[in-house]
């Protein structure tokens, strides 16, 4: 009798389990990175909302003036697209050494603040 297919099936099964484990690990890392991004966005929203509220309370500007200034700042990066994306080089994390995007303020992998980056 020839039972080689049983050994091959076990090998395929181990490979599939390993691939599934790798995929699960990647998914956990992506979820963690997403949670850090959401946290960063929430903190940025707090800074922006606080700043706007302070300016309105002090009578520094009204909403139409603010929207006009937003468009001006939006255009300052070369594109009127509802975003501000100044050019910056990717930066290695001072703690874990991984490369972070040019707009990252904190390391996407370990959360350590990046040198010279600020949400303001």
Q: How far, CA to CA in Å, does 59 sit from each of 3, 38, 62, 102?
A: 84, 31, 7, 35
Closer residue to Zn ion in complex, CB, 12/95: 95
Q: Is 114 in the site for Zn ion (CB under 5 A)?
A: no
Q: Is 44 in the site for Zn ion (CB under 5 A)?
A: no
**Closest CB 48 distance from Zn ion, rounded Å:** 25
Closer residue to Zn ion in complex, CB, 78/97: 97
Which tokens is 71 given?
């468009």
Which tokens is 15 given?
């490979």
**Closest CB 113 distance from Zn ion, rounded Å:** 10
Q: Is 105 in the site for Zn ion (CB under 5 A)?
A: no
Residues 6+ apart with CB under 8 A from 22: none
Give the integer Cα–Cα distance in Å for 101 and 113.
Answer: 13
Q: Binding string to Zn ion for residues 63 to 102, with x set by CB under 5 A, is what? A: ------------------------------x-xx------
The count of C-alpha atoms lying within 13 angstroms of the C-alpha of 95, restricted to the half-sphere facing its C-beta, is 9
Give the interface with Zn ion as residue ranges (CB under 5 A): 93, 95-96, 107, 109-110, 112
């Amino acid at each position: 009798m020839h039972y080689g297919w049983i050994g091959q099936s076990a090998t395929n099964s181990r490979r599939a389990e390993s691939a599934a484990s790798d995929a699960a690990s990647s998914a956990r890392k992506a979820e963690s990175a997403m949670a850090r991004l959401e946290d960063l966005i929430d903190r940025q929203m707090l800074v922006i909302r606080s700043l706007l509220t302070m300016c309105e309370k002090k009578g520094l500007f009204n909403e139409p003036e603010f929207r006009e200034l937003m468009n001006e700042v939006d255009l300052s990066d070369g594109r009127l697209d509802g975003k501000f994306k100044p050019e910056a080089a990717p930066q290695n994390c001072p703690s874990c050494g991984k490369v972070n995007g040019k707009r990252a303020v904190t390391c996407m992998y370990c959360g350590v603040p990046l040198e010279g980056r600020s949400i303001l």
